[in-house]
C-alpha cells in the first residue's frame, strides 16, 4: 500500500527528506528504547505505547523528538541534560 503525499506530510516528512539522517535518528531512538530504560525519553516512549500508539509510530515520534533536541543543543551550544526534559503530556 502506497502512502499519498498528503499522508507523508502529516508525519512531518516530505519526499525529499534526508534518508541518512532519518536512519541515524531512528537508530538513536532504537538505542533509547532498548538500552536506556531509565531515561525520560524512554518513559515518553512507554507512555505513547500505553495510550495506544503503534510501536513504529511511537519510535518515529521519539526519533523526531531526538532530532529536535539535537537541533536545540546545536543552536544553544549546550550539553544534553535529561533533567531539562519536559515530559510529554498524556
Residue-wise pLDDT for 14-50, tens only, equals 677 788 888 899 999 999 999 999 989 999 999 999 9
Residue that wins the pLDDT comparison between 21 and 85? 21
How far apart (Å, rounded) are the C-alpha atoms in residues 90 and 88? 6
Q: What is the pLDDT of residue 33?
A: 95
Radius of gyration over alpha carbons of the chain, in Å? 14
Residue at grid coordinates 516528512: 13
- Comparing C-alpha atoms, which of 65, 54, 49 is closest to residue 12? 65
pTM, two decimal places: 0.72
Lowest mean pLDDT among 4-13, 41-50, 58-67, 80-89: 4-13
Amino acid at each position: 500500500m502506497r502512502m499519498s503525499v498528503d499522508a507523508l506530510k502529516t508525519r512531518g516528512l516530505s519526499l525529499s527528506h534526508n534518508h541518512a539522517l532519518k536512519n541515524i535518528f531512528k537508530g538513536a531512538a532504537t538505542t533509547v528504547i532498548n538500552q536506556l530504560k531509565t531515561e525520560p525519553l524512554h518513559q515518553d516512549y512507554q507512555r505513547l505505547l500505553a495510550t495506544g500508539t503503534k510501536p513504529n509510530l511511537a519510535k518515529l515520534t521519539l526519533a523526531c523528538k531526538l532530532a529536535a533536541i539535537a537541533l536545540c543543543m546545536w543552536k544553544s551550544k549546550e550539553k544534553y541534560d535529561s533533567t531539562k526534559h519536559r515530559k510529554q503530556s498524556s
